[in-house]
Amino acid sequence: MEQTKTRTFVIGTRGSKLALWQTNWLIERLRAVRSDLQIETRIITTQGDRIQDRPLQSINNDGFFVRELEEGLLRGEIDLAVHSLKDLPHYQPQGLVIPVTPGRADARDALISKNNLSLEDLPPNAVIGTSSARRASQLLAFRPDFKVLPLRGNVDTRMRKLQEGSLENYDAIILAAAGLDRLDRGGEITALLPYPVMLPAPGQGALAPECRSDDAEMLSLLSSLNDPAAQAAVVGEKTFMGWLGGGCQTPVGCYLEVQGEQITGQAFVGSPDGSQVIRVELASGWNGKLEAGQELGRQLAALALEQGAKEILDEARANGYVTERK
């Protein structure tokens, strides 16, 4: 009798240290579900990896860190792609799905500064490195004297530019706390920025395992990894982004959190220079279902739009700060 061939699952990932850490973390959890899994890792270079000498906004493609991975999935070259959820647009190509959210790390942004100075204590006109329009807008809303300059590269590259110096001579940089923690560099954080000062990108701190919607075996493997509370929160955040019509490089922040039987949400929309700011907060009951997060995301978006978010984002779009997926 012919023996059934064991399937080898091919997992696609970007090649950075952080992307590989995230992929290996997910593989460990999949093997905890099924120890005999045959897995092959394939590194795929994305447009965002190739283009390092231009600001993210100028690339004008909201899928620049995920597009090639998604194309590999659709062609059947890989069976699973592991993304940082914050890098994904709020919608997906037909035939692909993110079925689970396997927990969530710290969603806050982190300040790393020379001499361990806090955001408040940085010198007048301090130079802060970030390529995020969201971070820049909130930094300038907090302190209009800051000079915010682009900063590209992986975590190690960005930290080196601060520590060893560069043409920009940064006084501080802003990075996601989750990435630093995952790379065992959390001890180098000067301060974790509180949400009233810096709301994160929708989905920040969460991983997004993406697969084909008709891959029943992969969907079954992933199903036991889901954290319903984390999933409701990040789906609500992406819903907020979707209703506003923004992309990954948009001056928009959002954070939802399940606390007992309640789900709370905070959101931010600002002009690129921080001169116009909208902040909204809401809370509702948590019934353990995904729809509660989606509904709160819609309500936050409606409230922000009532207060003028569309006009702010239209102006940002005209100035190249709202990217559209190609």
Torsion of CA 264, 236, 196, 114, to 10 degrees: 130
- Tell me whether residue 109 is one of the annotated catalytic residues: no
Exactly one of 62, 79, 87, 106 is catalytic; name it: 87
Helix (H), strand (E), coil (C) string for the chain: CCCCCCCEEEEEECCCHHHHHHHHHHHHHHHHHCCCCEEEEEECCCHHHHCCCCCHHHHCCCCCCCHHHHHHHHCCCCCEEEEEHHHCCCCCCCCEECCCCCCECCCCEEEEEHHHCCCCCCCCCCEEECCCHHHHHHHHHHCCCCEEECCCCCHHHHHHHHHHCCCCCCCEEEEEHHHHHHCCCHHHCCEECCCCCCCCCCCCCEEEEEEECCCHHHHHHHHCCCCHHHHHHHHHHHHHHHHHCCCCCCCEEEEEEEECCEEEEEEEEECCCCCCEEEEEEEEECCCCHHHHHHHHHHHHHHHHHCCHHHHHHHHHHCCCCCCCC
CA separation, residue 279 to residues 130, 242, 307 (Å): 21, 17, 9
Give the residue numbers marked as catalytic: 87
